[in-house]
Amino acid sequence: MTFGLALFICVFLVILGTVVVSEFASKTSSVDSILAGTDAEYSARGDEVG
């Protein structure tokens, strides 16, 4: 019962976090540019390693 309750809370927090992030991203486009920058960095590093 305790494990199920903890799992439910975790899922609820993940869904709540996703909604908050999506709402915040829709208001400001700077988050998208930051995420795009980190994705570009990771892809560049991956190419160097590869």
In degrees rounded to 5, what are phi and psi of residue 28? -125, 135
Give Dmax over CA atoms of the chain in angstroms.
48
Q: Is the pLDDT of residue 29 over 80?
A: no
31 close to 24: Cβ distance less than 8 angstroms: yes
CA pair distance 36, 34, nearest whole angstrom: 5
Q: Containing H/E element for 3?
A: helix 2-27
Global confidence as pTM? 0.45
Q: Is the pLDDT of residue 50 over 60?
A: no
Give the mean pLDDT of 3-31. Answer: 83
Please give the residue that has the higher pLDDT: either 3 or 40: 3
Length of the chain: 50
Please give the residue that has the higher pLDDT: either 31 or 5: 5
